[in-house]
Amino acid sequence: MRCFVGIDLGSTTTKAVVIDENQNVLGRGITNSRSNYDTAAAIAKQEALVNGRFYLFRQALGNTGALNGALDAFLGQLERSFRFEQYLEQLADLESTCQRNVANARFGDAASSVSSALAEVFKRLSAESAALFAPGAKPKSDFFRDIAGSQYLATGEVVAKESGIRYDFLLNVFDRSIIEVENRVYGDSIRRHLLAALERTFLMMPDTAGRRDRVEAPIKGILDMPMEETYIVGTGYGRARLPFSKEHVRSEILCHGLGAHVMHPGTATVLDIGGQDTKAIQVDPNGIVESFQMNDRCAAGCGRYLGYIADEMNMGLHELGPMAMKSTKTIRINSTCTVFAGAELRDRLSLGDRREDIMAGLHRAIILRAMSILARSGGIRNEFTFTGGVAKNEAAVKALKDLVRENYGALTLNINPDSIYTGALGGATFAWRAVVEEGKTAEARS
Amino acid sequence: MNATAVLPQGAGKPQVQKEDAMWLQKEMINRNYHELATARERGHKVAATFVPGNLNELLMCFDFARSLPETNALQNGLRKKSGKFILDAERDGQSEDVCNYVKADLGMMLGGEIGPTGEALPKPDILLLSYTGCFTFMKWFELIRHKYGCESVMLHVPYQGEGKIAPNMRDYVVKQLKETVIPALERISGVAFDIDRLRQYMKESTKAEEDLVAVLQSAKHRPSPIDGYFGAVYYIGPIFTAFRGTPEATEFYRVLRQEIEQRVRDGKGPITPDGEMAEEKYRLVVEGPPNWTSFREFWKMFYDEGAVVVTSTYAKVGGVYDFGFRHDPDHPLESLAEYCLGCYTNLNLPSRIDMICRYIDEYQADGLLINSIKSCNSFSAGQLLVLREVEKRTGKPAAFIETDLVDPRYFSAANVRNRLESYLQMVKQKRAAALAAH
């Protein structure tokens, strides 16, 4: 089948969306940008295509009725099993890379004991891995670096102590090796992993094994069907790195404008808060950008602001919003400088203010800055669509709602659960338009 | 294996391409620095004055050598010398928020007043402040006066708050010229004022102005034979500085005009440092001064995308000639007054908006780009309002980028390019949508 792909290479994460000939979203994929846009783009696209296969599995299995009532559970298990297979392969790769790096490191006499300690660490990681992908388990992150990293750090510390070697040797090896591993794409393993995951799923859900033939046939049918990348459009900060010609590259302003329009056709104003910039975009009824403003010179008030605060507070990025929601008191925090906000935060803590209230103040500070960029772009018009990573943060959304109501009155505020994919969706729609409406064909980078 | 690549002999940086007139312009600017450096030995007094509203013809009547501090700063910016000067000035106590032209100039003084070409600049005998719309100018000369103990003379130029030059405004400036400025210049130079000499210089000015306007307006053609911002910077150099009123300037503009008119006949686009610009894809109007420290890199971002600036307000900063003003030998003092009053940054915001809207229409531009300068209030105050109003009136898209004049720390290439590309793609998309609607 013909597929149209949009890739958004952001500063923090890289996102991909695949749509079909009727502009249905087949799949979405995300990965960390890992300062290597080539890999990030390849992996995000691969993830989106895998996600697309799952969408097609669902469609096909839904049509046959083979799994009546058990479809969701089956596909959920299939996906977990698939992730597990992927994880095992990467873990094995990480182990052999670590061992190779120990051989090349200057650990002197300690080398062989580090090597044995590594073997022990990986033995324990493998033993623990099944639990990470068990039903009901909530992985802390979608990215191998984070999942394997947190396991490795915890287990490594214990093993280092037990075997009497220096923990920092293990850290050193990990840091070097993880970069190599996360820059491999494993594109050839997808089919194998899906088939292995299928077997695993039949084992885990014995009821379905009885219907094996009726389940297997449509899945294999879809696996055998090529998903042709008919046209790709790239956007985001890394777009110049994309391996295709300029024709395939659009600015993220255009992609966010169009993506927001596709998600919510009534959109007139878009606010996107990403890792390093805040964009206010005005679009016409066809999703065409009329004007835009971005933060200039300074990235205070962007997603990284929250990242910095999370680091300062020694918290996870996703924990900030929920904490701020528990606020009972208004605290004003300056919004002009990320680093100063960090200082202000510590000052507030020392004055005895509650963390919840300070967090709420920080979220409001971000949105205040966004309000000024929105004002610069011509204000907020109905409907108003909020996108980007920060749109997932409930405290930021609450602050935005309050400020919009105060300044512009009652408006429709759209926040799509998939808003992080807005730019990629816009890119995929541009790809679709290029082929279907403009009759273009893909061009290689010259 | 030997991994060292062997370069062919003589292979170095590719030669930068310029029009003949651009090379000539560079020679003239360098010559003026040499004249300044040797002014003392040739028995000339030295005047420092600013570009907007400069009274070059008048200063020539008293045989002053002319130094223009903003031009010195921008030349130092182009030659990558300003970064250090600014740091030196900051170490000397100037705040981060002070105009960077000022800091580059003060830094140059701290370093022994070695000018952009490497020759020492003389201490001025007089500071002639002939445009007071920029408050920073006043403080700048105050600092120089303090440093060198030289005399200053101020011509107060009323702001065009009502959007026009009223007769009493002109009379007020003429009165100051007669009663304050000319007597001071006579006294310091020891040369008596001769109004016929002024008329003679003005005759030259008028010819050069006529040719300059023809050159700048050649951009109304498609493709435009010039870049009305990056290229225009070379064109305006002589007439906005020490050369207006000289026969050399008249000759420069005559040659330049011929060259450009030939380009129009040949259907050629502008010359960029990388050669003739390929297809003209976008026609833009730019408001605000350029960035000097990354001037070529900045320009390249435009021509790489096929964007030509058809006209800019910056190319009018030393004289708005395209709506008819010329120096008038028959009314020399009155026309000097009108020249000072009519300088671009002395116009109120509605007049600036009118001017830009008119440019977008007359030059068939796709839209407006504002390069906002962090440290220049004369230009930057009100620019967002200008942007909004121009968008509303013309229906053409506008965009806003921010850089600095001569502080290399405030030019973020990745961000500027990102905004520019986004803007150009927006223009393209809007154009396609407009075509589809017809």
Distance (Å, whole) CA A335 – CA B142: 36
Q: Searching chain B, which residue's CA lies closest to the CA of residue A255?
A: B422
Q: Shortest Cα distance from A295 to chain B (angstroms)?
A: 10
- Asked if A296 and B391 come within 8 Å (Cβ–Cβ), the reply is no
Cβ distance of B433 and A237 shorter than 8 Å: no
Q: Is the dihedral of CA B214, B216, B221, B225 positive or negative?
A: positive
Could you tell me the pLDDT band of residue A237, with boundaries at 50, 70 and 90? confident
Q: Say if CB A252 and CB A236 are below 8 A apart.
A: yes
Cα within 13 Å of Cα(B28), Cβ side: 25
* Nearest beta carbon to residue A253 from set B410, B412, B422: B422
- Residue range A289-312, pLDDT digits in tens: 999 998 776 777 788 888 888 888
Least confident of A40-49, B15-24, B150-159, B359-368: B15-24
B294 min Cα distance to partner chain A (Å)? 16
- Most confidently predicted of A137-141, A144-148, B253-257, B408-412: B253-257
Model confidence at B391: pLDDT above 90: yes
pTM, to two decimals: 0.83
Q: Which residue of B has its CA nearest to A246?
A: B305
Contact at CB, A296 and B422, closer than 8 angstroms:
no
Phi and psi based region of residue B331 (left: phi greater than 0; alpha: psi -120 to 50; beta: remaining): beta
Minimal Cα distance from B402: which residue of A?
A296
pLDDT surpassing 50 at residue B1: no
Report the pLDDT averaged over residues A325-353. 86
Alpha carbons B72 and B241: distance in angstroms, whole number: 11
**Does the pLDDT value for residue B218 go beyond 90?**
yes
- B412 contacts in A (CB within 8 Å)? 297
- Token readout for A75 is 């596909």
* Sign of the four-CA dihedral B208, B213, B215, B216: positive
With bands split at pLDDT 50, 70 and 90, how would you rate the model's confidence at B14?
Answer: low
Q: Please write the tens of the pLDDT for every residue from A101-119.
A: 998 888 888 889 999 999 9
For the stretch A19-45, pLDDT in tens is 999 999 999 999 988 777 888 888 999
pLDDT of residue A297: 67
Which residue did the predictor score with more confidence, B212 or A252?
B212
Mutate to test the interface with A, among B96, B400, B429, B435 (most CBs of A within 10 A): B429
pLDDT of residue B60: 97
Question: Which residue has better confidence, B121 or A438?
Answer: B121
CB contact under 8 A, B430 and A296: no
DSSP-assigned states of every residue in B318-373? T---TTS----TTSHHHHHHHHHHT-GGGB-HHHHHHHHHHHHHHTT-SEEEEEEE
For chain A, the domains span 82-182, 265-415
Nearest by CB to A296, which of B388, B391, B402?
Answer: B402
Under the banding of pLDDT at 50, 70 and 90, the label for residue B13 is low
Q: What is the pLDDT of residue B424?
A: 95
For residue B371, give the chain A residue with the closest CA.
Answer: A296
Span B140-166, mean pLDDT?
94
What residues of chain B have any CB closer than 8 angstroms to a CB in chain A?
Answer: 374, 384, 388, 391, 397-402, 410, 412, 414-415, 418-419, 421-422, 425-426, 429-430, 433
- Mutation target vs A (from B369, B371, B421, B423; most A CBs, 10 A cutoff): B421
Q: Which residues of B touch A293 (CB under 8 A)?
A: 400
Both tokens of A168, joined, read 């920092």
Residues B400, A293: C-beta atoms closer than 8 Å: yes
Domain ranges of chain B: 20-437
Q: What is the pLDDT of residue A107?
A: 84
Confidence of residue A445 (pLDDT cuts 50, 70, 90): low
pLDDT band at A444 (very low <50, low <70, confident <90, very high): low
A378 has a pLDDT exceeding 60: yes
Q: Does residue B18 or residue A13 have the better pLDDT? A: A13
Task: Point out the least confidently predicted range of A351-365, A380-394, B13-27.
Answer: B13-27
Closest Cβ–Cβ partner in B384, B398, B425 for A254: B425
Please answer yes or no on whether B422 and A292 come within 8 Å at the CB atom. Answer: yes
Distances in Å between the Cα of B231 and the Cα atoms of A99, A283, B22, B277, B279 are 60, 34, 9, 12, 17
In sequence order, what are the residues at sequence separation of 6 or more whose Cβ sits closer than 8 angstroms to the Cβ of residue A188?
none
Reported as a pLDDT band with limits 50, 70 and 90, residue B2 is very low
Mutate to test the interface with A, among B389, B400, B422, B431 (most CBs of A within 10 A): B422
Q: Which region among A31-40, A76-85, B223-232 has the lowest average model confidence (pLDDT)?
A: A31-40
Contact between B401 and A291 using a beta-carbon 8 Å cutoff: no
B260 vs A39: CA distance, rounded Å: 49
Q: Is B433–A284 a contact, with Cβ atoms under 8 angstroms apart?
A: yes
At how many degrees (to 10) do helices A71-104 and A37-64 cross? 150
- Mean pLDDT, rounded, of chain B: 92
pLDDT above 90 coverage of chain A, percent: 56
Domain spanning A265-415: which superfamily? Answer: ATPase, nucleotide binding domain (3.30.420.40)
How near does any CA of chain B get to the CA of A50, in Å?
31
Mean pLDDT of B171-186: 98
Select the residue of A252, A291, A297 nearest B391 (Cβ to Cβ): A291
Cβ within 8 Å of residue A422, ≥6 positions away: A255, A256, A259, A260, A263, A272, A387, A388, A416
- Token couple for A40: 């990030």
Q: Which residues of A touch B (CB under 8 A)?
A: 237, 250-254, 284, 286, 288-294, 296-297, 376, 378
pLDDT surpasses 80 at B10 = no
To probe the interface with B, which of A247, A294, A337 has the most B CB atoms within 10 Å? Answer: A294
A296 min Cα distance to partner chain B (Å):
7
Q: Quick check: B412 and A297 CB within 8 A?
A: yes
Residue holding tokens 């919003």? A321
The residue among B297 and B437 whose pLDDT is bigger is B297
pLDDT at A212 over 90: no
Q: Please tell me which of the candidates A289, A294, A378 has its beta carbon nearest to residue B426.
A: A289
Q: What percent of chain B has pLDDT over 70?
A: 97
Cβ pairs bridging A and B (under 8 Å): 50
Cβ <8 Å between A296 and B421? no
Residue type, B208: A
Which residue among B374, B419, B426 places its CB closest to the CB of A294?
B419
Which residues in chain B touch residue A430, judged by CB atoms under 8 angstroms apart? none
Residues of A in contact with B418 (CB under 8 A): 237, 251
Q: Which of A251, A284, A288 sits opposite B422 (nearest CB)?
A: A251
State the DSSP code for A444: B
Query: Closest residue of A to B367, CA-based?
Result: A291
Beta-sheet strands, E only, within B165-324: 271-272, 275-276, 282-287, 307-312
Of B55, B227, B26, the C-alpha closest to B116 is B26
A286:B426 CB<8 A: no
The ipTM is 0.74
pLDDT tens readout for residues B306-363:
999 999 999 999 999 999 999 999 999 999 999 999 999 999 999 999 999 999 999 9
Residue-level pLDDT at A358: 93
Find the helix or strand (DSSP H, E) in which B384 lies. Answer: helix B383-394
The H or E element spanning position A310 is: helix A303-313
> Which residue in A has a C-alpha nearest to residue B368's C-alpha?
A291
Range among A40-44, A223-227, A237-241, B165-169 with highest mean pLDDT value: B165-169
Quote the pLDDT of residue B5: 37
